[in-house]
Structures are given as structure tokens and as C-alpha cells.
């Protein structure tokens, strides 16, 4: 059965691939699962039909037969359980890969999202300029720890896994800030993720929706 | 094999049960799995021996034979896969429970942690008082959505699951703010979680370490 995901009718990033549907597209491309996409407007995201699928009014969602899922991490685990290629077979290695999925979404991404909030939502507040370095330093704490753990390895724990897929996706948000370039091994890690054919197909698919000329 | 978790030698909350080891204790109590605890000082958490277990220098960690895990969400999934009682047997219901785990840790908890940062870390900054209502309103957005979804149900999706365990744990952080009381069904939901015998045992176990007189 072909799953259907939702994505922004027009992504706020204009096709840079930072919207979370790109993460699910990437996972589906890694395992070779075709999918359909239903585009949702900002207004429709807050209406009852979409809230029934996603209680927090966001994208992506994932529908497959009678199953409706939200939360990118849960969608990626669901895909990984039905297809080889995203989580290791060995139980201990699989548990560690899931740890990196949670690390990406609940330890590394929140301070990175705070930077967007500080710039976009609070950018015109009187404290914006003085507060920004504090927010950036909190990101540096996490990047320094992640950089130390990665070292000169290609991926976080052995072969590429769903943990890397989400961590690379989270770090991509930092490109325009310049922060990533302070940690050359993390910048190279992100570049390795972007070079994967599955990522490139996922990126192209979202760009086809969001390109300025599209 | 008895797993060993780590916890604060002295929790910053003085035994209110908000440190993340309580979540893992609760999961282990729900499934009836005995465990050992190794207490870690703030200094030791940032030293190489602990960073080898937890790259971000936090607690809890989980060790069991040759497996070392970090990230509470991953630890709870690991426990749930080895014991009945935390995730449904049915595949679709299981995927939805995992969605609520991610929702708790990466959608609902981040704005709640921002409130702690605003009060504790930035509390003496010139913008602290004026910025606080913005931070609280971001929490209200999430609580309003969660409250609407929960309605008058006991738990988020059918029977109690690891998704409820983490969501209740996250919401408990709000008790002292008064925000929870603005959503009576969420306050009752949290109280249902706290009333579970497994939660009470977990709470008592962390209190024995952290009570002011302890």
C-alpha cells in the first residue's frame, strides 16, 4: 500500500529542504518505498480535518491503510520497522540508533529551533540583539559534545542509520548561521548525508513543490 | 540481568521527581523489572567516563550487559520491547504510542524547558520580566492542542502506554507554574499518572536519594 504524507503547500524556507517532510521523504527514499504527497495550506493545518491527523497542527503526517501517524521520529521508526536499511538488525545496535534519533529531535534540535524563534519571532524585540549570543552559545555546547563524540567517524554509530538521518536533518538548519562551520567534522558529516542519493531525491522532490519559479 | 541506571547524586529539584531518572524508574516499575542505581555528581557527569555513556553529559543512562544507552525515550522503548505493559501489541497502536513519546519529548517539552531557562538562566537579565509572558504563551499553545485532543479520555490513545508515561512526566514540570491548572483535563490526566502504583514507587525511590533530610 502506498503511504501518503503531508507537506507544506508552500514551505516557509522556499525549498531549502528544512521542512520536516524532507526527513520522511528521505527515509522513504532510503528504503525504496514510493509515496504520495498531499499539500496542506497554513490555514488548513489548523482546521479539524488536519488536527484529527496531527493534534499539534503541523506537517508531516503519514497515512497508510487505517494507520494515521504524526511526529517525524515515530514515522521514521515505523518505516524502519517495515523495511531494511534504516535501523540495524542487532538489538543493541538498534537501540543505540534509536537513542540517536531521540538525541537529534529532543536534545540537539530544541536549542537550534530557539535560534529561529529568537530571530524570527522575537527579532524585533528590544532584547533581540543582546540575547542572541546566549542562544548561540547553547547551540555550541551541544555541537561541541556531538563533535567530540563523532570524532573522525563517518556516522554516529557504525553504519548510516535513522539516527544519522535525523541528526543530519537537524544540523542542516544551522547552515545559514555559520555555526556548523565552527565544527569541521560536523560540517563534513552533514555533507556526507546530503551526498546520499536518497537525500538528493528527497531534496529534489520537495524543491519541485517549493522552488520560487515552481 | 539487572540493569543499572544513573541518576543525580543530588537532584536540582530536591526530590520533586522532575529529574529524568524518575521517568526510567517509572517505566521499570510498570513492567516489574528491578534495577540498580549509580549516583553521579555534576562534576562527574562532564568527565570522560560518563561522557562515554552519555555524549551530552546528562542522566539517566542505562546499562545492561554489553548495552549502554542514553536518551530517556530510547531507554523506555528498549524496556517496552523486552516487557509487556508499556506499548500495545497491535502494530498500528504501537506506532501511535511511539508518536506520543516523541510528541512529549520533542513537541511539548521544549517550550516547557524554555520556561526554566527563562527563569533560572536568564532570570537576572534585563528582558526577563517582559519576555516571560511570550514563553508562557508558547506553552499554552501546546497545552491547548493537547487538551483538545485528550478531551475526556483517561489516556492519550486507548490504554495507558509509554506515551502517557512521558507526557505526564513532561507536564509535571509545569505544576509550580500554575499553567497546568488552566487546563483541568490535563491536570486530571497528570493526577491519574501520579496515582499509578508504579509512579508512586518510582517517586519514592528518587525521593529517598534526594529528600532534604536524606
pLDDT for B149: 98
In the predicted model, residues of chain A with pLDDT beneath 50 are: 214
Tens of pLDDT, residues A29-87: 999 999 999 999 999 999 999 999 999 999 999 999 999 999 999 999 999 999 999 99
Q: Which residue has the cell 488536519?
A: A50
Confidence of residue B213 (pLDDT cuts 50, 70, 90): low
Q: Is the pLDDT of residue B34 over 80?
A: yes
pLDDT for A50: 97
Tens of pLDDT, residues B101-111: 999 999 999 99
Pairwise CB contact (< 8 Å): B142 & A70: no
CA-nearest residue of chain A to B111? A110
**Helices assigned H by DSSP within chain B:** 21-31, 42-45, 48-53, 72-82, 91-102, 109-116, 128-150, 162-172, 184-195, 197-210
Q: What is the DSSP string of B158-186?
A: SS--HHHHHHHHHHHTTGGGTGGGGSHHH
What the block records as the C-alpha cell of A193 is 548525508
Nearest to B78 among A72, A77, A95 (CB): A95
Closest CA of chain B from A213, distance in Å: 33
Strands A36-40 and A4-8: parallel
CA-nearest residue of chain B to A146? B55
pLDDT for A213: 63
Nearest to B113 among A75, A78, A110 (CB): A110
Mutation for B interface: A102, A107, A126, A153, most B CBs within 10 A:
A102
Pairwise CB contact (< 8 Å): B98 & A77: yes
CA-nearest residue of chain B to A98? B74
Q: Is the pLDDT of residue B212 over 90?
A: no
Pairwise CB contact (< 8 Å): B55 & A134: no
Tens of pLDDT, residues B40-69: 999 999 999 999 999 999 999 999 999 999
Pairwise CB contact (< 8 Å): A78 & B98: yes
Distance CA B165, CA B83 (A): 15
pLDDT for B214: 45
Mean of all residue pLDDT scores within chain A: 96
pLDDT for B211: 83
Pairwise CB contact (< 8 Å): B131 & A149: no
CA-nearest residue of chain A to B97? A74
Distance CA B147, CA A185 (A): 43
Pairwise CB contact (< 8 Å): B55 & A103: yes
Q: Please, which residues have CB within 8 angstroms of residue B140's CB and are 6 or more apart in sequence? A: B179, B182
Distance CA B203, CA B90 (A): 30
**Across B190-201, average pLDDT:** 98
Tens of pLDDT, residues B106-152: 999 999 999 999 999 999 999 999 999 999 999 999 999 999 999 99
Pairwise CB contact (< 8 Å): B71 & A95: no
Walk me through the domains of chain A, giving residue ranges and CATH numbers: 4-86+198-210 (3.40.30.10), 91-196 (1.20.1050.10)
Closest CA of chain A from B16, distance in Å: 22
ipTM, two decimals, is 0.97
CA-nearest residue of chain B to A126? B127
What the block records as the C-alpha cell of B198 is 508504579
What the block records as the C-alpha cell of A178 is 555559520
Closest CA of chain B from A110, distance in Å: 6
Amino acid at each position: 500500500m502506498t503511504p501518503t504524507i503531508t507537506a507544506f503547500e508552500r514551505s516557509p524556507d522556499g525549498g531549502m529542504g528544512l521542512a520536516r517532510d524532507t526527513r520522511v521523504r528521505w527515509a522513504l527514499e532510503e528504503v525504496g518505498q514510493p509515496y504520495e504527497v498531499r499539500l496542506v495550506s497554513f490555514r488548513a493545518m489548523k482546521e479539524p480535518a488536519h488536527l484529527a491527523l496531527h493534534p499539534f497542527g503541523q506537517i508531516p503526517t503519514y497515512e497508510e491503510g487505517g494507520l494515521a501517524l504524526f511526529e517525524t521520529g515515530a514515522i521514521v521508526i515505523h518505516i524502519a520497522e517495515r523495511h531494511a536499511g534504516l535501523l540495524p538488525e542487532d538489538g543493541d545496535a538498534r537501540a543505540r540508533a534509536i537513542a540517536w534519533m531521540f538525541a537529534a529531535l529532543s536534545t540537539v534540535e530544541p536549542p537550534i529551533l530557539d535560534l529561529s524563534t529568537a530571530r524570527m519571532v522575537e527579532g524585533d524585540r528590544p532584547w533581540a540583539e543582546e540575547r542572541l549570543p546566549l542562544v548561540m552559545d547553547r547551540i555550541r555546547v551541544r555541537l561541541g559534545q556531538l563533535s567530540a563524540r563523532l570524532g573522525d567517524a563517518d556516522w554516529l554509530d557504525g553504519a548510516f542509520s535513522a539516527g544519522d538521518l535525523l541528526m543530519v536533518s537537524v544540523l542542516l538548519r544551522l547552515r545559514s548561521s555559520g555555526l556548523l562551520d565552527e565544527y569541521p567534522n560536523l560540517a563534513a558529516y552533514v555533507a556526507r548525508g546530503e551526498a546520499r542519493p536518497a537525500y538528493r531525491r528527497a531534496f529534489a522532490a520537495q524543491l519541485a513543490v517549493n522552488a520560487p519559479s515552481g
